[in-house]
Amino acid sequence: MYRTSRHQKNKRQRIRGTIHHSVLCPFALLLLAVAVMLSGCGGGDSYVRTHANRILAGDSGTAVQNAGETGCPETVAKAHGNGDQTRLASGGGADAVVTEAGMPAAPDASEAVGLLEVHFIDVGQGQAQLLIGPTGKTMLIDGGDNPMEEAVVAYLEDLGIGRIDILIGTHPHADHIGGLDAVVERFDIGKIYMPRVQMNTKTFESLLLAIRNKGLKINAAKAGLTLDWEPDAEVRMIGPVGEYENVNDMSAVVHLAYGETSFLFMGDAEAQSEADILRSGADVGADVLLVGHHGSSTSTSEAFLEKVAPAYAVIQSGDNDYGHPHKEVLNLLAEKGVRIYRNDEHGHIVFTSDGKRLSVRTGKEAGPRRTERPEPAAAVGELAVSASIDNDTPPQNGRLTVTVKATDAEGNPVQGGEVVLRLHYKTTTAEYRGTTGASGIAELSFRIGRASKGYTVKGEITVTAGEAGGRAEVSFTPK
C-alpha cells in the first residue's frame, strides 16, 4: 500500500523548487428515526446536534455501518526550458507535465502503476469531487447544490459509472449535499460517510429519504478512519477531530495518498478545525489542496497552508454573494507559490496521477472522459473466450450482466484469468474488470446509466492468464 511517509514528505520538500509540469423540515419524526449525524457550508443555517437519534449497527454505537464548460487551461507562468515540454517553477512535490501550449500531457503509461483520476466537477457555488481509482473503484465527495443534481448525475453517467463505492457528504449544507439524493437514487452505492450533525432542511431530509429507500445506512465521518478503497491508495479521514458549534468545522476532511502523490479535500472546514487537525498530529502534506470553504478567509490559515505545502490549489466556487474566493486567500496562495485552479474560471478540473507524476486538464478537455489505460499484454488467440449478455435491448438506467467463459487450448476451464470489459458508448468508454473462477466463468454486472437510445454499444472483452490471452465481443442497444 502506498503511504505518505515522512520520507516522501521530505522528498516533496527537496524537489519543491521544480515541477514538470433553508427551510425547516416538516418531517422531524423522520429525522429522528433515520438518525444521521451531519454538518454544513456557508452561513447561518440552523442545525440540530444529536447523539441519541442514531442508526446503530453492529456492536458499536459510535458509527453507523453500511450494509452492503468550457474554458482553456490557465496560461503557463514562470516558464523556462525548451523542447516540447515547459517546466514550471512553482511550489509542490509530485511531478506534473504541461505541454508548451499549456495543455497537459498524460503520464507515461510505461512507468504507470495504474492511473488515479480526481475530478473537481464544476457545480457552480458548491463542491463535488469524483475519484476514480486504478482498478475502477469510485469515490464521490459531495454532490453540489439541488439545481446541479442532474448535471452531476449526467457527469457520472457520461463516464459510464454505475456504482459509487464510497459516498461522502462532508456536511449537510445544501451546496454540498443537494445533489446527493439523486446520486443515491440513480446509482449503486457502497459505503456512505457523513459527520454527526443534521439539519432541519428539506435538502437534508431528501437525502435521508433516498438513503432509507435504498436500504442503506451511514458511517459516522470522523478523524481516525482509514477507508477501504483502492489497494494501492491510502484514504484517511483526518477531520472532524472533535465536535463544533460551527457546522462548517464538522466537515469531513479526507487525505488521499497514491504513490508519491497526494490530495487533501477540506470540505468547508474552517480555522478551528484546521488547528485541531494540526494538533492531532495528522500528516496533512499534499500536492493538491482543495481549498476549504470555497476560498473563504475563514479557512486556509497560513499555519495550516505551510504544513500542507501544496503545489496546486483548487477552489470550487461560482457566482455567489459571499465574495468567494476572498482576496486574502488568493494572495496567501500566491505568496506561497501555489498554482491556483478555479471552477469559475476553468470549468471542470481533472488531475491524473500515475503515482509519481501529476497532470491536469481543464475546461472542455476536462469533460467526462476516461484516461485510456494501456491494453494488457497478451498473446491473442491462445485462450478460447466466449461471452453473452443477459439483455441486448436494456432500458435507460438498466442493469446488465455479461458472462464470460475462458478455456485453454485443451478445453479446460481457465481459473484466475483477468477479464477486462470495455464498453464503447457514443461519447465515452467505460471499463469493468473481473476474474474467472474455477469453472472458467466470470460475471460482470453493471448499470448502464442514461445511455443514448438506439445507439449500439459495443463491448470488447479481453481475458489474460499468464502469457496467454483471448478476446470476445458483446453489444447492446438501449431502448
Shared domain for 314 and 405, answered yes or no, is no
Chain centre to alpha carbon of residue 290: 12
| Per-residue confidence band for 143, with pLDDT thresholds at 50, 70 and 90 | very high
Shared domain for 360 and 421, answered yes or no, is no
Shared domain for 347 and 446, answered yes or no, is no
Using DSSP's 3-state secondary structure scheme, residue 465 falls into strand
Output the pLDDT for position 430: 82
- Tell me the pLDDT tens digit for each residue of 174-188: 999 999 999 999 999
Residue 5 included in any domain: no
Res 147 pLDDT > 80: yes
Residue 372 included in any domain: no
| Per-residue confidence band for 113, with pLDDT thresholds at 50, 70 and 90 | low
| Per-residue confidence band for 397, with pLDDT thresholds at 50, 70 and 90 | confident
Domain that holds residue 436: 379-476
Number of independent structural domains in the chain: 2
| Per-residue confidence band for 29, with pLDDT thresholds at 50, 70 and 90 | very low
Shared domain for 362 and 394, answered yes or no, is no
High-pLDDT (> 90) share of the chain, %: 59
Give the separation between CA 479 and CA 379, rounded to whole angstroms.
36
Comparing C-alpha atoms, which of 258, 438, 428 is closest to residue 353?
Answer: 258
Res 92 pLDDT > 50: no
Residue 203 included in any domain: yes
- CATH code at position 438: 2.60.40.1940
Shared domain for 355 and 419, answered yes or no, is no
Q: What angle do CA 134, 110, 232 make, to 5 degrees?
A: 30
Residue 169 included in any domain: yes
- CATH code at position 249: 3.60.15.10
Contacts of residue 327, Cβ cutoff 8 Å, sequence gap at least 6: none
Name which of 81-95, 312-326, 337-351 the model is least confident about: 81-95
Shared domain for 353 and 391, answered yes or no, is no
Residue 10 included in any domain: no
Specify whether the CB–CB gap between 288 and 310 falls below 8 A. Answer: yes
Name which of 8-12, 54-58, 306-310, 382-386 the model is least confident about: 54-58
- Tell me the pLDDT tens digit for each residue of 326-378: 999 999 999 999 999 999 999 999 999 999 999 999 885 666 654 444 443 33
Output the pLDDT for position 367: 65
Residue range 232-255: mean pLDDT, rounded: 96
Residue 15 included in any domain: no
Residue 374 included in any domain: no
Shared domain for 398 and 471, answered yes or no, is yes
Res 163 pLDDT > 60: yes
- According to DSSP, the residues that pair with 458 across neighbouring strands are 424, 475
Residue 442 included in any domain: yes
**Average pLDDT for the chain:** 78
Reading the block at residue 300, the C-alpha cell is: 486556509
Residue range 294-300: mean pLDDT, rounded: 95
For the full predicted model, state whether its pTM sits above 0.85.
no
